[in-house]
Amino acid sequence: MESLIVENNEKRRLLNKENKKIYEDMLMYVRLSYNKSVAETEEVLMELLDHLLILQQEGRVASELFGDNPKQYANEIVGELPQKMLSKKMIMQFFMGVFYFLGVAIFLNGLVSTVCHYGFGLPESNQTYYVGTLAINTLLSLGIAFILVYAVIRYICWACFKDVTKIFELLFTGIVFGALPFGIFLALFYFMPSFGPPITIELYWLILIGICFYLLGSLFKRKA
């Protein structure tokens, strides 16, 4: 499969500007069908690329291959691809994502809090967390993160085969995928009531905990 991806990357350089744009939109759209067989997906994409290169060499247009509605053609391809079976690799990738997310979030929280305390004396040197609140906030944060990832994938699919202006893309992605999730996270931690047994830890321990979670994510990545 990796060899097909490398070969695809090399052959795409032979496409002219117009054909490269439509093929890369097709490639992105099909590859983001994450529940489909990866091997079958790459074989189909390579076959399409070979056909498109032949058309280009003969001086013909891409619409002869993809038709007047390339997105509909892409949907037909996706519909014919076999479903991806739940595997050990997918489970490992799921836990990899969870631990990477927790590791980065906890590490940044600890780093910022530690720098603010020792550099500016703003927060206390330790922080009290409530087990119940922490558990609910963690689960909700993971849910929001997965929804955000799904939303990004759907946006990319929507943008394929469209001439989206850079200004619109910058504003839309900045608000929907930046400011909005950040505001939800802040509201989540601000308004969630404190309940459950309290745990008080030094701020620098958050950095170490974050590193441990990140290493766990790396472990699952190697097993994937």
Q: Output the pLDDT for position 203.
A: 85
Q: At 130, which amino acid appears?
A: Y
Q: Output the pLDDT for position 61.
A: 87
Q: Do the Cβ atoms of 8 and 42 come closer than 8 Å?
A: yes
Rounded Cα distance between 137 and 128, Å, is 14
Q: Output the pLDDT for position 215.
A: 96
Q: Do the Cβ atoms of 30 and 74 come closer than 8 Å?
A: yes
pTM: 0.78
Q: Output the pLDDT for position 1.
A: 64
Q: Where are the domains of the chain?
A: 2-80, 88-223
Contacts of 62 (CB under 8 A, 6+ apart): 18, 19, 22, 23, 52, 55, 70
Q: Output the pLDDT for position 99.
A: 95
Q: Output the pLDDT for position 123.
A: 66
> What is the Rg, in whole angstroms, of the alpha carbon atoms belonging to the chain?
23
Per-10-residue mean pLDDT, the chain, length 224: 82 90 92 81 92 92 88 89 77 91 92 82 79 91 89 88 79 80 83 90 90 94 81
